[in-house]
Amino acid sequence: MKAKVTIFFTAVFISLSACCQIDDTMQIYKYLTLDSVIISDVRGGFDVNAFIRLVEDDTTFYQAFRNLRKVEYTSASNILIYDKKGKQEASYAGIATQLLKNNCRWMQFSNENIMGDFYDDGDMNYYTAKMFAYIFLYRDTICNNNKTTTASYDKKIESRKDQLKIIMFDPGKKVDGIPFIKNKTAVFDFDIMKHYDFFISSENYLNVDCYVFSFQLNEDSKQKDVVVQQMKTWFDKKTFQIVARTYDLRYDAGVYDFDVQMDVQLGMKNNIYIPTQIKYTGNWDVPGKSRERGRVEVYID
Report helix, strand or coil for 255: coil
Count structural domains, the chain.
Answer: 1
Please report whether residue 71 resides in a domain: yes
Range of the domain at 160: 62-188+194-300
- Give the Cα separation of 36 and 150 in Å (integer): 56
d(CA 78, CA 234): 25
pLDDT in tens, the chain (301 residues): 444 344 333 333 333 333 333 344 446 768 899 999 999 999 999 999 899 989 988 889 989 999 999 999 999 999 999 988 889 999 999 999 999 999 999 999 999 999 999 998 888 988 888 888 888 999 999 997 654 433 344 455 455 556 666 677 778 777 776 777 878 888 988 889 999 999 999 999 999 999 999 999 999 999 999 999 999 999 999 999 999 999 999 999 888 888 999 999 999 999 999 999 999 999 988 777 788 999 999 999 9
- In a domain? residue 141: yes
The answer as to whether 24 is a domain residue is no
Domain membership flag for residue 3: no
* Domain assignment of residue 8, yes or no: no
Query: Is residue 34, in this structure, part of any structural domain at all?
Result: no
Cα distance from N-terminal residue to C-terminal residue, the chain: 43
The per-residue pLDDT for 115 is 96
Per DSSP, the residues of 92-142 read EEEEEEEEEETTEEEEEEEEEEEEETSEETTEE--HHHHHHHHHHS--S-E
Distance (Å) of CA 169 to CA 40, 182, 280:
33, 18, 11
Residue among 45, 41, 93, 98 at smallest CA distance from 71: 98
In a domain, 200, yes or no: yes
For the chain, give the number of residues: 301
- Is there a domain that residue 2 lies in? no
